[in-house]
Structure 1
Amino acid sequence: MSTTDPQIKTLAQPGGRGRAACARAAEAGPELATALRRALPFLARKRVSITVDPTRCTSFADLAADGSIVYTAAFNEKSSSTRGLVLFDEAALARVLDGVLGGGSATTLPSAKLTSAQNALASRVSVGVLRAFADALAARLGLTLEPCASKEIDAGAAVVVALVLEGGGRVSIALPLGCIRTDEPSADPARVDPGIEAAMTDVELDVVAELGKVRLSLDAIMKLQVGDVVRLSLPLDEKARVSAGGAVLFHGRPTASGEVVAVALERSVG
């Protein structure tokens, strides 16, 4: 973040609530990684793996003082009326600017200051990344993110989820601590008649493996023909979500079993 970014007063590190918020935000890590791939298709084409750093709680002042951050995009979170940031370090921004033009291997910027054309390209791409992140966080945490032109950020604590690109580069999202709810009441388990419970174990549910989806205009859908190939948003090396009854149970790896598509379960949810 450059010295022209807003100066924010340093706050003390949050305590238990910060840890709880970090734990909740960490749940969205895999979805954010998938969202970044969707927003930056060159990552999938070049098979760039993405890892999620441990989620941390810090202050926006510390982020403002972080010299490794070279570009930020601000957003509003509507439900809490708070504001956060998507942040790119130099390697990530260089790879993004290079990648959308057909490259993707550059990890340094040609100069310390972006040209007007580079700024325009970075703005367009960062909005796409933010919208992809917004979809993921709406589904996982119930947040509503919208792009914001102003980068004036209120002093306060931030929960940071950092996505690390293989080969160099870090794209992070700093969520205001106040927008992450950690106090949802947990319902007491209802008493179920043992006979009914035993009978319910034989009830069959559809197990759904979400291998990907793609948004197409109505015009594009009407033009689809037999023989066309529809490219899904899930890269071949990304995890698929396996759910039943509307609840996600596992993350798995797409594979093949005999002559059918299969999903190898790798991580349980919850």
Structure 2
Amino acid sequence: MTEQYITYELEGDIALIGINRPDKRNAMSSEVAAELIVAAQRAGREARAGIIFGHGEHFCAGLDLVAVGEKRKAGVSDTDKRERHPEHLGFDAIARGPIPFVAALSGVVIGLGLELACAAQIRVADRSVVFGLPEAMRGIFVGGGGSVRIQRLIGYARMADMMLTRRTLTADEGCAQNLCQYVVDPGEALAKARELAARMVENVALSNWTICNILPRINDLGHDDGLMLEQMAAHYTVGQETLERLDQFAAKRGPRFLG
């Protein structure tokens, strides 16, 4: 597939995926979502960690409403009603794929853009960020997994407030409500994301996979079932590389935890 709306670059073991529609504030269309799926899957094969960012001043202004309106008027649907939304497939490849992702956020992070950001395991927001969920004003409901991911991050009451009143949050406010874990000065989000991704790369790959795929599922379970799955995951994660890392620790070699 020719990259038109999504850029892909490999920096060592880190894949950088950029939404490249700066003239549209990186609004998401079905074509962008389709390219994102390909890029995320490619990153899972080629890299040990990934970064998602937006070219230009903004991360993503959400759904491309002009494109959606034109298609609806023409009677065109992006997907068969029996199939999953392309955003679900693409975002799942990020949220529960083989490698962890960092989202480097700047400018507007609203609607589908916020849903995409919340698919990443780590989110870094610079202080230009505005978080929002304004879909109801246009007669639209979240469709990129946000009713699950965002609601589990911030809770029903806060998400309902953002959707019903179109309340926006600053980077610092969003950090206080789990929409991001790091806040940096304007223009510094991508650099911080690179720093965090480099730390992820130092981890054992199977451990990263377990954190991305098993940890959120444990969160979905009851107490006893969660402990059972934790025990299974703990045994599953131990492999040859674990033994090698333990030998490195004993010999004071390899990556070190500095606290």
Normalising by the smaller structure, the TM-score range is under 0.3
Structure having greater relative contact order (Cα 8 Å, sep ≥ 6): 1
What's the TM-score once normalised by structure 1's chain length? 0.26
Query: Which has more helix, going by share of residues?
Result: 2
Query: Which has more strand, going by share of residues?
Result: 1
- Between structure 1 and structure 2, the one with the greater Rg is 1
